[in-house]
Amino acid sequence: MEQTWRWFGPDDAVKLPDIRQTGATGIVTALHHVPYGVVWTVEEIEARKSQIAADPTLGLRWSVVESLPIHESIKIGEGNLTPYFDNYRQSLRNLAQCGITTVCYNFMPVVDWTRTELAHPLPGGGTALRFNLHEFAAFDCFMLQRPGADAEFSSETLARATEWYERSSETDRRKLLNNIMAGLPGAYDRYDIPGLRVMLDRYRGIDRDALRANLARFLREVIPTAEEVGIRMCIHPDDPPRSLMGLPRIVSNEEDIAFILDAVDSPANGLTICSGSLGAGAANDVPGIAERFAERIWFAHLRNVAKDPDGSFMEADHLGGDTDMVAVVTTLLEEQKRRKDAGDPRWRIPMRPDHGHELLDDVGKPTHPGYPAIGRLKGLAELRGVMKAVSTLRDLPL
């Protein structure tokens, strides 16, 4: 698999020479400064490519777009969407013209990945990302004051949420809001409480079926263009794979993925397998999902989580959580061999170590939450070892 690394652009605290030291050669990035719904021009794309390739001794290339964001109006299905679809299609054409042909995206309404703690303490002084269901319930019920929110949590969770809220300070509450918003690391807009209420009101009446229909419409609009220009689109699962703030989430399990891939049956309509996002769902068999949809997996996020019975979870070591990472990696390597044997010139699946613990000299550095250098380097080294061992034992191409 091609070893890649997420980079948030020139302002990222992790610099391109640092990335090369990890052993990664592919860069996963986006034009985060371009507002949602606006065309990514050839000039902007080439400028970012030039930044990545400026030092040829590093041997880096822009391998994957993560992500080409979808305007919220498309998800809601409101207003005249033709300009947004036109712009998205033009961005795909421009990316293909520049030689970038793997595009990761998501269809999560309002918020992206969501955590309530960004620095949960680990033994020895490191930190991890964590999602505490009772803290999210406190946010939803008492800070956001969403009507009907309390009906979506158990009595035990509500009791813990009430206790947390009653003893929390204004500083604690501001921190919780900021933590939840931190899951939009490349977002053009973030929300305060009033802004969130406005966004939730826009989604009034959008249930699971309606959101699915809006995603299917998006796919019908853009996948033919992606196929025409050689782009492989790969949707990212919901993180966490559960409803948040009453908003439906529709990329959370095996059934959801099957619906999406069947909605437009094209090789251009593919999947980003994220072992951490799917792994946070108690009912999800992540190795089984990888095996079922292997032929449509174009990108892999490899990380692990340790789940609690109430639905809370924490980012674990890449090989130390609830998901059998060896089984997932084996499936991906076997799929690579199938593609190579079939003559696919793009047989190698790009992968990146997703989310890492904040460790050693990275503690306190201004890196994006979940994206410190050392924790991801540790994860990549572990995953590289698994890949090498499986490849050697099963005679599979790396």
Nearest to 272 by CA among 24, 4, 39: 4
Beta bridge partners of 274: 301
Q: Does 236 participate in catalysis according to the annotation?
A: yes
Q: Is 209 a catalytic residue?
A: no
Catalytic residue among 71, 355, 357, 362: 355
Q: Which of 88, 274, 317, 318 is catalytic?
A: 274
Q: Is 355 a catalytic residue?
A: yes
Catalytic choice (71, 301, 318, 357): 301
The 3-state DSSP composition of the chain as helix, strand, coil percent (nearest 5) reads: 45, 15, 40
| DSSP class per residue in 274-296 | EHHHHHTSTT--HHHHHHHTGGG
Catalytic hit among 140, 317, 354, 362: 354
Instruction: Please say if 120 is a catalytic residue.
Output: no
Cβ atoms of 228 and 234 within 8 Å: the answer is: no
Characterize the bridge pairing of strands 304-307 and 117-121.
unpaired
Catalytic site includes residue 274: yes
165 is catalytic: no
CB 333 within 8 A of CB 390: yes
8 Å CB contact between 294 and 334: yes
Name the active-site residue from 71, 236, 318, 357.
236
Q: Are strands 297-302 and 117-121 parallel, antiparallel or unpaired?
A: unpaired
What residue type is assigned to position 54 of the chain? A
Query: Which residues are part of the catalytic machinery?
Result: 236, 274, 301, 354-355, 371
